[in-house]
Amino acid sequence: MKEEDYQFKLLKIISGGETHLLEDLIIPAGKLNEKKSLEIYQNDYLFRLSDSLSATYEATHTLLGDEDFLNLTKDFIKKYPSCTTDLNEYGEEFPHYIQKNLESNFVELIYQAALFENFFWKIFHQGDVPYLVYNSSEDEFLNQKIVKEIKLLRASYNVFKIFNDARESNERDLESYEGSFNFLLFKKDKKVVCENLNDLDYHFFEKLSRGLSLKEAMEETYEKAEDVQNVFKFLALNFL
């Protein structure tokens, strides 16, 4: 059996609870019997997934604290076991799980923070493919569509600030993060960029993310020439 096939089958059996099927896969080491070996594999599986969630949702972990985060991830792993050996892909459902299951006065803040972190790492792991390919013809340029994913998030908390403060261990009153924010996340020069847009520009990028061309999105969004010029400058600076 190939190594990747072995790992996939092992993860599937452990996550599915069908531990009786492990007899042919696990060879006890030293003085350990099969039951003890199985416990070690199961604990290692839970630790790896919990550690992966903590790495992806670092700010969320900080907001919740060690005990609450650990309890939440344990329950999450039971409901959403992983059947992939690439842990970068694990935890997609975690923000929505928080929103539905966390009992806290700040559940919306923590949910938005987790969703921001999910988006941040998705953009971070993108390849370095350009968003738009420059054409000399203005008509060809305006008919282009964004070819790489961007992320948009309307938030009632400054989750970008929360993300940075948590990573830098800056403590602040959670209510101080309240506000109205229109975040756009994209990749530039191998770094994740986060911009807080005005309402018009947010609607423009929403339309681009739905597959409209630059021309279509501009015509549906802007009425003033000044607004069109400003978004052109933004596109030229960040997306070409």
**Full-model pTM:** 0.81
Instruction: Identify the band that residue 174 occupies on the pLDDT scale cut at 50, 70 and 90.
Output: confident
Domains of the chain by residue range: 1-103, 115-240
User: How far is 39 from 19, CA to CA, in rounded Å?
Assistant: 10
Phi, psi of 53 (to 5 degrees): -65, -40
What is the length of the chain?
A: 240
CB 70 within 8 A of CB 50: yes
Phi, psi for 77 (deg, rounded to 5): -65, -35
Name which of 149, 150, 130 is nearest 141 in CA terms. 130
pLDDT digits (tens, 9 = 90+) for 60-99: 999 999 999 999 998 998 888 876 666 677 899 999 999 9
Distance CA 238, CA 12 (A): 42
State CA 192 to chain mean position distance: 12
> Rounded to an integer, what distance in angstroms lies between the CA atom of residue 174 and that of residue 4?
44
Q: Within 13 Å of residue 20, how many CA atoms lie on the same side as its CB? A: 0
Sign of the Cα torsion 234, 218, 157, 79 reads negative
pLDDT digits (tens, 9 = 90+) for 4-24: 444 455 555 555 555 554 555
Say what percent of the chain tops pLDDT 90. Answer: 50
Give the CATH class of 115-240.
alpha beta
User: What gap in Å lies between CA 217 and CA 36, rounded to an integer?
Assistant: 60
Nearest to 14 by CA among 84, 99, 97: 84
Per-residue pLDDT tens digits for 119-132: 999 999 888 777 87
CA–CA dist 51, 55 (Å, integer): 6
Six-digit token string for 13: 């059996």
- 3-state secondary structure (DSSP) of residue 179: strand
Mean pLDDT of the chain: 82
In this structure, what token pair is assigned to residue 157?
């908390």
- What is the C-alpha separation between 199 and 184, in angstroms, rounded? 11
Mean pLDDT of the region 100-129 = 92
Least confident of 40-54, 97-111, 153-167, 185-199: 40-54
Assess whether pLDDT exceeds 60 at residue 237.
yes
Q: Are 218 and 228 in contact (CB under 8 A)?
A: yes
Confidence at residue 3, expressed as pLDDT on a 0 to 100 scale: 42
